[in-house]
């Protein structure tokens, strides 16, 4: 499955932003290790920061909202994020599997992926 990793990014503190990006990449790495592909939108924002290409919030969010529609399911990381909540709602409206992570441990990610896999199979058999 292609999994969208949604969660907090922005903060008033640059170190917190880096922590949020790092946490999303960690989750994505575990998802990949467990046999799935993933989209980590945090890297879109971060890569543009690294090369100095200014992307405003509206452009970035629009890109992410289009990208999330291409995914089979969504993992929502803990923490406040209006953008991640909207991404989640986009997939919810399309009846795609989604789940909230209680934490970013490998065990929790594995548990949530198993739930998503079951929901995905259920969707396929209902069609």
Indicate if the pLDDT at residue 85 is higher than 90. Answer: yes
Q: What is the pTM of this model?
A: 0.86
Residue 80 Cα to chain centre, angstroms: 13
Q: In the chain, where are the structural domains located?
A: 2-126
Mean pLDDT over 66-84 rounds to 93
Average pLDDT rounded to a whole number, residues 32-39: 95
Dist. CA 97–CA 110, nearest whole Å: 15
**Does residue 93 have a pLDDT over 60?**
yes
- Three-class secondary structure of residue 32 per DSSP: helix
Tell me if the domain spanning 2-126 has CATH number 3.30.230.70. no
Model confidence at 117, in pLDDT bands (50, 70, 90)?
Answer: confident
């Amino acid at each position: 499955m292609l999994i969208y990793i949604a969660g907090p990014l922005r903060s008033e503190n640059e170190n917190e932003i880096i922590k949020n990006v790092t946490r999303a990449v960690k989750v994505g790495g575990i998802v990949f290790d467990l046999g799935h592909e993933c989209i980590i939108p945090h890297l879109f924002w971060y890569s543009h920061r690294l090369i100095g290409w200014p992307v405003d919030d509206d452009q970035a969010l629009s890109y992410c909202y289009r990208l999330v529609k291409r995914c089979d399911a969504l993992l929502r990381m803990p923490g406040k994020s209006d953008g991640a909540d909207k991404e989640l709602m986009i997939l919810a409206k399309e009846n795609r599997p989604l789940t909230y992570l209680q934490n970013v441990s490998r065990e929790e990610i594995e548990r949530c992926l198993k739930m998503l896999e079951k929901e995905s199979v259920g969707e396929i058999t209902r069609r």
